[in-house]
Amino acid sequence: MHIQTRTLQKSDYHDLKETMIEVYSGIGGDYWPKSSITKLLNIFPEGQFCVEVDGKAVAIALAIRVKYDDFGDNHTYYEITGGYTFKTHNDEGDYLYGIEVFVHPDYRDLRLGRRLYDARKELCEQLNLKGILAGGRIPSYNKYADELTPREYISKVKQKEIYDSTLTFQLSNDFHVRKVLRGYLPGDSESKEYATLLEWINIYYVAEKDKKPHTDSIIRLGVIQWQMRLFKNLNAFLEQVEFFVNAVSDYRADFMVLPEFFNTPLMADFNDLPEPVAIRKLADFTEPVRDKLCELAIAYNVNIVGGSMPLVDEDGKLYNVAYLCRRDGSFEEYRKIHITPNEVKHYGMVGGYEIRAFDTDCGKIGMLICYDVEFPELGRILAQQGMQILFVPFLTDTQNGYSRVRHCAQARAIENECYVAISGCVGNLPRVQNMDINYAQSAVFTPSDFQFPTNAVKAEATANTEMVLIADVDLSLLKELHEHGSVQVLKDRRTDLYDVTLKKAAKKALKQKKASPDNDPEEVAPVIVVAD
């Protein structure tokens, strides 16, 4: 599945019509004629959005820009749209007025409406508008009209005593009810022709034209400090994962990062087996967990760095793999390069061969797993590829092991002029060999200069306590640092004397791995081959 939020195009009309008929079947199945959509796209193309799923537009948001004082709070849908002609649109308007939002019923479990609202909010900030206004239907009001006034009904929806598919969603997206409108949409029997005048306020709006509005350079991170605990089964484990995804999504996080080997509680059922066998049994869960993380990334609109998990590749070798599950439905993988002596001794793991920064909708990121961050060459190569945020899932059992990861991660942030987020496991895990104790203090580190905290720590968790760490990082500060910092580490390197380079490209490395045993990690530390 591939999901994309984009501006609506004229070629999307067939999908729009089909979706509108499905959505409004309860009130006659009305839909906008093609001429109206064409006019909207001609006068305000940047204000019309859709969410495309596998090539089909299944969620649509239509809007105009208005000078709201020309209408005031007492208006109807007919009036605000200029008799459905959109002649009320004004390129100098101070509010974005939403005239339609609808999602095809078959896709409502993907939470696509939130993406449309987020797109509108971003446009509002870019255009430096005061906010967003919309007349919202209250389709469940007809069930309560005999006992509740519209005001009482809205109050109960706010208090979550009543669920209204439209109003509940709008309130959860930071809109507030400004007024109750009468006769807003004639013929809307479900709402008894009432509507709520909803408003979202752009807190970045500035009246002075010479001031810059807010930009999208601020990225919100959700770092999970994961408590090791036993689970009844895979579903119980995934429920705990979804709890954290939901939590960071409520804070509108752009990224969520989980720790290294966060799924090892699932090894409890294999504790009677030798450790090399048990870890390969655990690897059977990796693909289903990865698929679930991809689903959650879509449903909750957050990019997920899925910690790390064991993976048995087609070559029969065991790798330690971290996944980037983007919120557009795509995913990438990174295989731990440097395998610890413990991973070799107990599991027979081997190292990966590819060092690569990944593109996301929030800039370029890198992933290094635990021990990898102790090798400065990897961070430097990623920085040369444009990395802005480095995610480091880790798992350490002792405080001195944690200190190595922490201090090296801080060094990577300073020397590569980037942000680094580390996420670890805490607590004890009985009945799982070699994973019984854990120590962590997850954190977000920054470069060290005037733009950043004096200790170069943006945020840090309480040691050995399960929690969620929410932190905002500003990518524009990295550019400022690179150009005007007190010291400019990346610029001041003496490349006439030294450099850090990849010896071979990833594809070539993989071919070399298969062709030449001299470059195989097996020659460094023998792999333990286990038969079931």
Burial (CB count <10 Å: 0-12, 13-18, 19+), residue 53: buried
Q: Is the pLDDT of residue 434 over 90?
A: no
What's the pLDDT score for residue 393? 98
152-187: pLDDT as tens digits: 999 999 999 999 989 999 999 899 999 999 998 888
For the whole model, what pTM was predicted?
0.80
User: Is the per-residue pLDDT at 514 higher than 70?
Assistant: no
- Beta strands at 331-335 and 318-325: parallel, antiparallel or unpaired: antiparallel
More confident: 313 or 529: 313
SS (H, E, C) 103-145: ECHHHHHHCHHHHHHHHHHHHHHHCCCCEEEEEEECCCHHHCC
- For the ranges 78-92, 443-457, 504-518, the lowest mean pLDDT is seen at 504-518
Amino acid identity, residue 465? T
Q: Tens of pLDDT along 218-231? A: 999 999 999 999 99
The pLDDT of residue 522 is 39
Helix 399-416 × helix 376-384 angle, to 10°:
30
Instruction: Supply the pLDDT for residue 138.
Output: 94
Rounded to whole angstroms, how far apart are CA atoms 116 and 102?
Answer: 9
Q: For all residues of the chain together, what is the average pLDDT?
A: 90
pLDDT bucket at 234, cuts 50 / 70 / 90: very high
What percent of the chain has pLDDT above 90?
A: 81
- Sole residue written with tokens 């854990």: 438
What's the CA angle centered on 98, arms 95 and 102, to 5 degrees? 160
- At 430 the pLDDT is 84
Residues 302-318: b if buried by 16+ CB within 10 A, e if exposed: bbbbbbbbbbeeeeebb
Catalytic residue from among 260, 275, 333, 417: 260
- Per annotation, catalytic residue among 294, 325, 362, 370: 370
Burial (CB < 10 A; 0-12, 13-18, 19+), residue 57, is buried
203 pLDDT tier (thresholds 50, 70, 90)? confident
Q: pLDDT tens-digit profile of 409-419?
A: 999 999 999 99
Phi (first) and psi of residue 100, to 5 degrees: -155, 140
Cβ count within 10 A of residue 273: 16
pLDDT for 516 equals 41
- Nearest CA-CA partner of 172 in 183, 181, 180, 164: 164
pLDDT of residue 519: 40
Q: What local confidence, expressed as pLDDT, does residue 212 receive?
A: 47
Catalytic residue among 336, 425, 458, 513: 336
* Tokens (6 digits) for 440: 């962590």
Q: Which of 85-99, 307-321, 349-363, 517-531 has the lowest mean pLDDT?
A: 517-531
Q: For residue range 384-429, what is the model confidence (pLDDT) as tens digits?
A: 999 999 999 999 999 999 999 999 999 999 999 999 999 999 998 8
pLDDT in tens, 278-294: 999 999 999 999 999 99
Is 336 annotated in the active site?
yes
What is the rounded CA–CA span in Å between residue 165 and residue 245?
Answer: 22
* Segments in 320-443 forming alpha helices (H): 341-347, 376-384, 399-416
Given pLDDT bands bounded at 50, 70 and 90, which one contains residue 208? low
Residue 287 host element (H or E): helix 286-299
- Helix (H) or strand (E) holding 310, with range, is strand 309-312
Percentage with pLDDT > 70 across the chain: 92
Residue 531 pLDDT greater than 70, yes or no: no
Label residue 441 by pLDDT band (50, 70, 90): very high
Residue 27's pLDDT band (cuts 50, 70, 90): low
The predicted model gives 209-237 an average pLDDT of 83
| pLDDT recorded at residue 435 | 80
Instruction: Render pLDDT for 131-145 as a digit per residue (tens, 0 to 9).
Output: 999 999 999 999 999
Report pLDDT for 104: 95
Among 221, 278, 276, 289, which residue's Cα sits nearest to residue 249? 221
pLDDT digits (tens, 9 = 90+) for 459-491: 999 999 999 999 999 999 998 899 889 999 999
Give the pLDDT of residue 54: 95
How much is the pLDDT for 505? 57
Q: Mean pLDDT across the stretch 303-314?
A: 96
Residues 6+ apart with CB under 8 A from 494: none
